[in-house]
Amino acid sequence: MIKPKKVAFHTLGCKLNFAETSSISRMFSQQDAELVSFREPADIYVIHSCSVTAKADRKTLSLIRQARRQNPDATVAVIGCYAQLNGAQLNAMKEVDIILGTREKYRLAAICLDKTRDRVMEVSDKDIHEDHTFKPAYSSGGRTRSFLKVQDGCDYGCAYCTVPYARGRSRNNSISEVVKNVGEIASTGVKEVILTGVNLGDFGKNTGESFLELIRALDKEKEIPRYRISSMEPDLLTPDIIDFISQSSQIVPHFHIPLQSGSDSLLKRMGRRYSCQDFEQKIAHIHKKIPNACVAVDLIVGLPGETDQQFNTSLRFVESLPISYLHVFSFSPRPNTKAAHMKEQVPEKVKKERSLQMRILSKKMKEKYYLEQKGSNQQVLWESKDKQNNLQGWTGNYIRVKRPYDAARENTIEEVTLNHFVNGSYYIK
């Protein structure tokens, strides 16, 4: 009897990559391959790469070395954004057997498990093309939550961003197909679906639909009690969407909005499509309609030419808004982007200092946000055991809650009152 092939995946980057890895790994499982941890000896190592920062690029290269060390005879495949953008370099390294970009990666299982061949076929970067089609994907394996890909690609062309080069133009699934995916996910017992995309608010461009219509349709799909929306561009997060979420019992009040800078001149330089005033009005609208909403904001520090004064303006602007917490990124020049060629690159040391200041602010904001929720009643989806043997879960507005571990409560939703705030979480006795 032929032994099943052992396949190990490591995923870098965004929720979209995680959803896609899950779909690709299901293709392996359906053909009897055995999925193992990336730290174990395997026949095939798959690195689902990301290229959003220089750090992500370095991580891909280090994972290739790790895979080779663990099994020098293994097939090593690099798929996804880094492969799409740096296929020729990967090919020249001679360490990688299969290089598949964002369009071709769905062929991976067929290539690796081709029974007509004695050994796995090598695939070079010559096979990489721009992706124009939409391939649905959702994550499975986590019992409580699933990332569902509904949109891919981006037409915006922000000065610092390499994603449109890697993932191509904006495209999406149809609402009816998304609803079908939701049905499949619900049949696995998952309680929360996280809608993901590269530029999620652009949903509908291809199919003559809109993001608002999508969430209206999902709100009727009662077998999933909760939908969470991942990052959405501020110019696409319309008052209608906010108003709909404010009265929906299923779309949770958790907004993740990329501001990127609180300085209008820097927003212009980045090629963003809104002003600080637009952003402020959007946040005000959210809080007017949903006072306890969680608002998470992305920021980039150290764009070329960012002066101390612009950074301070940005810091003061962010500080003045009712934001729950920040995701802070230090600018890193990405090949072929406008920002990589901008003059006056900010020294690494300065970027680090600015990033630290923003992170300190984020910590204060998060604590303030958590304390504002004290005394409120919230629905918690209990998820998993933490290192201290507590059961932990999240409320709809993304407050972490813990209680003594009780296996029977896992993957259930319970109403709790938030009273005891200790070390960044609420505890239920």
Looking at the Cβ atoms of 303 and 401, the one nearer to ligand SF4 is 303
Which three-class secondary structure state does DSSP give residue 182?
helix
300 makes contact with ligand SF4 (CB under 6 A)? no
Give min distance, CB of 279 to ligand SF4, in A. 14
Looking at the Cβ atoms of 98 and 154, the one nearer to ligand SF4 is 154
Return the residue of 233, 264, 306, 383 that touches ligand SF4, per CB under 6 A: 233
> Which of 220, 218, 172 lies closest to 196, judged by CA?
172
Q: State the residue for tokens 């729950």.
A: 324
Return the residue of 67, 83, 154, 276 that touches ligand SF4, per CB under 6 A: 154
299 makes contact with ligand SF4 (CB under 6 A)? no
Looking at the Cβ atoms of 158 and 293, the one nearer to ligand SF4 is 158
Count the site residues for ligand SF4 by CB under 6 A: 10
Which three-class secondary structure state does DSSP give residue 170?
coil
Structure token pair of residue 330? 């230090």
Distance CA 398, CA 286 (A): 15
Looking at the Cβ atoms of 43 and 233, the one nearer to ligand SF4 is 233
Return the residue of 198, 323, 401, 428 that touches ligand SF4, per CB under 6 A: 198
Give min distance, CB of 156 to ligand SF4, in A. 4
Interface segment toward ligand SF4; rule CB under 6 A; list 34-42, 109-117, 156-164, 317-325:
156-164
Report residue 256: phi and psi, to 5°.
-125, 110
Parallel, antiparallel or unpaired: strands 75-80 and 226-229 = unpaired
Looking at the Cβ atoms of 152 and 383, the one nearer to ligand SF4 is 152
> Which of 325, 334, 241 lies closest to 286, judged by CA?
241
Looking at the Cβ atoms of 199 and 263, the one nearer to ligand SF4 is 199
Distance CA 297, CA 70 (A): 39
Give min distance, CB of 233 to ligand SF4, in A. 5
Distance CA 46, CA 189 (A): 28
Distance CA 1, CA 99 (A): 30
Structure token pair of residue 206? 């291809």
164 makes contact with ligand SF4 (CB under 6 A)? yes
Query: Is residue 242 a contact partner of residue 233, using CB atoms and an 8 Å limit?
Result: no
How is 91-112 classified by DSSP, letter by letter? HHHT--SEEE-TTGGGGHHHHH
156 makes contact with ligand SF4 (CB under 6 A)? yes
Return the residue of 74, 148, 158, 315 that touches ligand SF4, per CB under 6 A: 158
Looking at the Cβ atoms of 18 and 28, the one nearer to ligand SF4 is 18
Looking at the Cβ atoms of 224 and 236, the one nearer to ligand SF4 is 236
CA atoms within 13 A of residue 275's CA, in its CB half-sphere: 5
Give min distance, CB of 154 to ligand SF4, in A. 3
Interface segment toward ligand SF4; rule CB under 6 A; list 56-64, 141-149, 158-166, 314-322:
158-166
Looking at the Cβ atoms of 164 and 304, the one nearer to ligand SF4 is 164
236 makes contact with ligand SF4 (CB under 6 A)? no
Interface segment toward ligand SF4; rule CB under 6 A; list 149-157, 235-243, 329-337, 421-429:
149-157
Supply the DSSP symbol for 200.
G
157 makes contact with ligand SF4 (CB under 6 A)? yes
Structure token pair of residue 129? 């093309």
Structure token pair of residue 188? 């696995």
Distance CA 397, CA 286 (A): 13
Interface segment toward ligand SF4; rule CB under 6 A; list 14-22, 55-63, 97-105, 153-161:
153-161
Return the residue of 63, 163, 241, 259 that touches ligand SF4, per CB under 6 A: 163
161 makes contact with ligand SF4 (CB under 6 A)? yes
Strand order in the sheet with 294-301: 254-260, 294-301, 325-330
Which residue type occupies 116?
T
Which three-class secondary structure state does DSSP give residue 180?
helix
Looking at the Cβ atoms of 161 and 257, the one nearer to ligand SF4 is 161
Query: Is residue 233 a contact partner of residue 157, using CB atoms and an 8 Å limit?
Result: no
Looking at the Cβ atoms of 158 and 175, the one nearer to ligand SF4 is 158
Distance CA 106, CA 100 (A): 9
199 makes contact with ligand SF4 (CB under 6 A)? yes
Give min distance, CB of 236 to ligand SF4, in A. 9
Distance CA 404, CA 143 (A): 19
Give min distance, CB of 229 to ligand SF4, in A. 15
- The binding site for ligand SF4 (CB under 6 A) comprises 154, 156-158, 161, 163-164, 198-199, 233
